[in-house]
Amino acid sequence: MNPVVVERPGVVKLATLPPLALYIHIPWCVRKCPYCDFNSHERSGELPEAEYLAALMRDIESMLPSVWGRRIHAIFIGGGTPSLFSARAIDELLAGIRSRLQIEPDAEITLEANPGTAEAGRFRGYRDAGVNRLSLGVQSFDDAMLKALENPARHPHRKGGMRADTAWKISQVGEKLGYPLVCVGIPKTVDNDLAITDNCPGFGSVAKYVATSIREAGFDVASMARTSTRVFVMEVMGRHAGWITAACGLAADKEGDAPQILLFPEIQFDEERFLARVKRVVEGDGYCAIAVSEGLRNRDGAFLSETGLKDAFGHSQLGGAGEIIARLVKDRLGYKYHWALADYLQRAARHIASKVDVEQSYKLGVAAVKLAIAGENAVMPVIERVSSKPYRWRIGVAKLADVANKEKMMPRDFISEDGFHITPKCRAYLLPLIQGEAPPPYKNGLPDYIKLKNVSVPKKLPAFKI
């Protein structure tokens, strides 16, 4: 930290001048997003690159007296969409800055880019100009959301598969441009919807948490069903694939156990069939526990959370899928209900982690590091199931290109014929993943977690040059 000397009130004198970061704004974009309140403007015709660069240089020169002697350690070129500017213009921009200001040799120079405008062919020119970091602006990886936002960068990406696709594309760009870049993916998504790998690290612990939660909630509801709550609804993650919803079904060892009904995104929601099932369950068991996926869809394929339902008076019901289902039960059947949203709790509950999941997560991380050290590129370590009884597994390797943008849905034979529960085959797949307990250490009655200091290490490698 620089020593500070206060000469008189309002005047601070530093013993040494602090470094300086420079932000350059390029305001043009292909289309103005409806939510954006930045100073940005839709491109109309050719961009006035030369005129704008000249204005930027005049602006920088006007500020020189106030920053003279301070060295630039970071430059961020933002917008708008700066990648609309040609590589030649970015080169002239950085050359103009270098001629007016002192830039550290290892300065981080970032160019903000939109996935729809940053073609690989431009990257070499940006890199040659001095850009050593790209900041890719992605508003959403959900096609429907991108369409609503009218964003030109529409991709068929989906969560874990999207991450694999990003890793694969980065590896290809590095290879084309001659960067010594090794890119190894790790199958991380609690949704368990990645292709190739038998299951994803994190899913086993989430499965254990949601199954435990709905079993315990079921006992609670059953205890007061005669005089109070008859229906309990729990919404879990899974916008496109119902693996977490299926895991809730593990809590039901026999007929009548909670949850009696599961609502999967793979099965179109039929309101009348659902209500008839709830009524039958309540009349038979005295209560009903329901697990619903956040991605539940109606017959038209639209998310219930987006369309809502109508109450008895024709008013639209808004909210998540769980809330909508609970209110539907109340409005149509008159049952008192409670509903819960597992949300972050389901993926953060380390205290109830599956021992199998913890072991698999650790070994996948070790395998990924070993692949990187060995120079393997565009690959991902995966879990291969050798057998279910007894449960045996091993680490395999898949190509990122085979994983990218693919989504593993629930097989139809994992879902009961009526669409409201899991089959024995699904149970046989899920049960091994939740086995064993691996509690963290406890202190004063609470989990004692390690917190990373997140201290950056000094740069050791020289700037890469071809």
> Residue 205 corresponds to which tokens in the numbers above?
């612990």
- Going from the C-alpha of 226 to that of each of 275, 283, 338, the distances in angstroms are 20, 11, 15
| DSSP letter (8 states) at residue 431 | G
- Going from the C-alpha of 267 to that of each of 237, 264, 303, 321, 418, the distances in angstroms are 16, 5, 12, 14, 10
In the chain, the amino acid numbered 157 is H
What is the greatest pairwise CA distance in the chain?
A: 83
- The 10 Å CB-count burial string (b at 16+, else e) for 106-116 is ebebbbbbbbb
The candidate with the shortest Cα–Cα distance to 233, out of 214, 257, 207, 206, is 214
- For 267, residues 6+ apart whose C-beta sits below 8 A from its C-beta are 242, 415, 419
From the list 191, 193, 198, 285, the catalytic residue is 191
The candidate with the shortest Cα–Cα distance to 354, out of 215, 195, 201, 192, is 201
The C-alpha atoms of residue 391 and residue 272 are separated, in whole angstroms, by 40
| DSSP letter (8 states) at residue 415 | B
The C-alpha atoms of residue 133 and residue 111 are separated, in whole angstroms, by 6
User: Please, are residues 324 and 298 in contact by the beta-carbon 8 Å criterion?
Assistant: no
Ramachandran bin of 419, using left for φ above 0, alpha for ψ from -120 to 50, beta for the remaining angles? left
Question: According to DSSP H, which parts of 225-262 are helical?
Answer: 243-248
- Going from the C-alpha of 57 to that of each of 18, 41, 63, 226, 229, the distances in angstroms are 23, 21, 10, 77, 69
| 191 counts as catalytic | yes
Neighbour count for residue 429 (Cβ, 10 Å): 19
The C-alpha atoms of residue 178 and residue 165 are separated, in whole angstroms, by 20
User: Please, are residues 90 and 78 in contact by the beta-carbon 8 Å criterion?
Assistant: no
> Residue 43 corresponds to which tokens in the numbers above?
């491109």
**Residues designated catalytic:** 191
